[in-house]
Structure 1
Amino acid sequence: MRSYPSRPAGLAVPAAALLLLLGAACPAVAADGKPDRDFTIEDPRITESSGLAASRLHPGIYWTHNDSDDGPYVFAVDSRTGKTVATITMRGVGEPRDVEGISIGPDGDIYVGDIGDNLDGSWNHVWIYRFPEPKALRDATVTATQYDVKYADGARNAEALMVHPTTGRVYIASKNEDGGGLYEGPAKLTAGSTNTFRRVGEVPWVTDGAFSPDGGSLVLRSYFSARVYGFEGGRLGESRAVAAPFQRQAESVTYTADGSALMFGSEGARSGVVRVEVEGGGKPGSGQEQGKPSGGGSPAERGAGAGRDQGEEDGKGSVGLGAVIIVGVAALWFALKRKRGQG
């Protein structure tokens, strides 16, 4: 579980103001009341939203979950209001350890990825939980199927779980500052035995990902950027950058159910979800725009954009004002902490 440092006593006013700015950078509910627009997650229980999945049965509803140590819970949030309209409790899955991703398959089932490993490979297996998307939006307890997962090349940390919308095959993208891997699961997951995922591609630092509704594109995001890859035959194709909003802790992304836009989410209390229009269905080589924020949300979130991967040479020093603010505040906080320790 990630924790945010509390404000140290005597924190300089400018730094405190910057922290306040970061905390307030979240969109309000769309004034027109339409679904799939910028919204704020209002539920005080959801403080570490680490994954998003657009409902297939309920237009405008997004499924999310907290990070580690929260329990077997999945929440349905209405993008029209930001309110939670259903809380699902999974039973039969043991105690979730570090839930980081969520996706919906072509069978209409919700897949929940208990795949995080903040110690970077200390756990020899992780889990995927699966249950049918509820037809009625109300609090319920459901029996979920649990799958044991291992990686063919050893344990690793991951935060992105994606189910292909036509084949039903499950993919996981590992998280590593120096670049991770795209892992492909077996054609069919099997309960009661180990499901081995094999590396089939190289990816940048990834905090979440999602397939387009037609399965022809895969979006992967990091803290400061996002890329859309062509996807055919189970393998990554050409990629291009798309606009990614600046968010305090960028953790999640999904396509809208109709594929017309991407929804970017973050962690934190009252965290914001920002819609980014993607013309041409988000497919590489479409000749259309790279994507643009919908116009809602705060200036900080709308203005992030660019989508340069952290490993790109031409992206050095250009991750944007938001990154500079974060680094500056962190440096000041640690400096003051050290000063107090020496006093």
Structure 2
Amino acid sequence: MRPYPSRPARRAVPAAALLLLLGAACPAVAADGEPDRDFTIEDPRITESSGLAASRLHPGVYWTHNDSDDGPYVFAVDSRTGKTVATITMRGVGEPRDVEGISIGPDGDIYVGDIGDNLDGSWSHVWIYRFPEPKALRDATVTATQYDVKYADGARNAEALMVHPKTGRAYIASKNEDGGRLYEGPAKLTAGATNTFRRVGEVPWVTDGAFSPDGGSLVLRSYFSARVYDFEDGRLGESRSVAAPFQRQAESVTYTADGSALMFGSEGAGSGVVRVEVEGGQEEEDPQEKGKPSGSGSPSSGAGESQDGDGKGSVGLGAVIIVGVGALWFALRRKRAGQG
């Protein structure tokens, strides 16, 4: 296996206070070895999994990457074991700055979004990297194409890169305390030129997003919630909530390759990925189970949960969430003040 640089001490995660309040429940790993179930990322190098993309060539395999200060690395993780089965090193892309999203296009290429900007507009441009998904799962160095990206209405922070599975057009969802925006890239990205992304919609605070395999739906998640939007002709339609699981730092989401479920991931060493069935998913049998995780991870698991059905658990959990949101807000303010 290729040598891998040691990681420096990292910043405190914004949602740490919520973790302490809710408790760190261990994610479930499928005992039967079936792919696309709940799993734990076992690789000690992957401590800030900030994006997920279901492989099109290798059933049960998910591509992920670390956040900032890591290098040009992308990992293939097998959901049956949680182990990394390939480490890809991107060549020809310079030094990645803040990699936050990953997606796979209709051409089978993997798109990596170096689109984070924790100073909310300090960088005049960001980058998207692109390379074909490897046919064989083994450690390799690949030459990636680099695209320069800017926004028509000025620089901003973003964590969600989505490539439409039918048109191949790239979209970015920005992240802001007052809500984000959905940006549409040009019909075709061009290397060696500036690719301008233009605002086409308003979205909430977004940490990741993904298109359904048929391109008719777009899921966007935040630290505490997720919504699925109808998507047609490049524009957002009606939306509905999804019961996203509570996680230590909710940073990633993708559809399974068959579109039957959503896979929600989190940052942190030994982080868990939780499957949540979607409406009409192949695993859905009981309407009351719709939107629930497949394993032990639960959207409502955590401190303050009552078992006697008197409603006290919901009130307690609501209070915990309010405290967690406040802690997150102050952490972000403190982080911005320290970087300003």
Q: 1:206 to 1:333 in 2, by over 3 A?
A: closer
| Map of 1:15 onto structure 2 | 15
Contact 1:11 1:333 in 2 (8 A): no
Give distance in 1, aligned partners of 2:32 and 2:242.
26
Q: 1:240 to 1:96 in 2, by over 3 A?
A: same
Give distance in 1, aligned partners of 2:117 and 2:329.
27
Task: Find runs of 4+ consecutive structure 1 residues off by over 4 angstroms.
Answer: 1-23, 281-290, 304-310, 312-320, 328-343
Give distance in 1, aligned partners of 2:176 and 2:117.
11
Q: TM-score, normalised by structure 2?
A: 0.83
Q: 1:317 to 1:235 in 2, by over 3 A?
A: farther
User: How far is the alpha carbon of 1:24 from its aligned partner?
Assistant: 3.6
Q: 1:117 to 1:155 in 2, by over 3 A?
A: same
User: How far is the alpha carbon of 1:321 from its aligned partner?
Assistant: 2.7
Give distance in 2, aligned partners of 1:157 and 1:66.
17
Contact 1:229 1:284 in 2 (8 A): no
User: Over aligned residues, Cα RMSD in angstroms?
Assistant: 7.2
Q: How many residues align?
A: 339
Q: 1:86 to 1:339 in 2, by over 3 A?
A: closer
Give distance in 2, aligned partners of 1:179 and 1:2.
40
Give distance in 2, aligned partners of 1:20 and 1:5.
30
Match of 1:308 among 305, 309, 319: 305
User: How far is the alpha carbon of 1:177 from its aligned partner?
Assistant: 1.6
Q: 1:258 to 1:91 in 2, by over 3 A?
A: same
Give distance in 2, aligned partners of 1:201 and 1:333.
24
Contact 1:182 1:202 in 2 (8 A): yes
Give distance in 1, aligned partners of 2:260 and 2:52.
16
Q: 1:308 to 1:276 in 2, by over 3 A?
A: farther
User: How far is the alpha carbon of 1:26 from its aligned partner?
Assistant: 3.3
Q: 1:91 to 1:318 in 2, by over 3 A?
A: farther
User: How far is the alpha carbon of 1:334 from its aligned partner?
Assistant: 10
Give distance in 1, aligned partners of 2:226 and 2:311.
13
Moved more, 44-53 or 8-17: 8-17
Contact 1:228 1:283 in 2 (8 A): no
Give distance in 2, aligned partners of 1:316 and 1:199.
43
Contact 2:172 2:184 in 1 (8 A): yes
Contact 1:161 1:172 in 2 (8 A): yes
Contact 2:15 2:249 in 1 (8 A): no
Give distance in 1, aligned partners of 2:54 and 2:261.
11
| Map of 1:330 onto structure 2 | 326
Q: 1:35 to 1:306 in 2, by over 3 A?
A: farther
User: Structure 1, unaligned stretches of length 5 or more?
Assistant: none
Give distance in 1, aligned partners of 2:292 and 2:157.
30
Contact 1:26 1:273 in 2 (8 A): no
User: How far is the alpha carbon of 1:174 from its aligned partner?
Assistant: 0.3
Give distance in 2, aligned partners of 1:6 and 1:182.
35
Deviations 1:172-208 (A, max 9, x none): 0000121111000000000000000000011000000
Moved more, 186-195 or 291-300: 291-300
User: Structure 2, unaligned stretches of length 5 or more?
Assistant: none
Contact 1:229 1:283 in 2 (8 A): no
Deviations 1:201-231 (A, max 9, x none): 1100000000000000000000000000000
Q: Matched residue of 2:268: which SS?
A: coil
Give distance in 1, aligned partners of 2:14 and 2:281.
42
Contact 1:227 1:307 in 2 (8 A): no
| Map of 1:207 onto structure 2 | 207
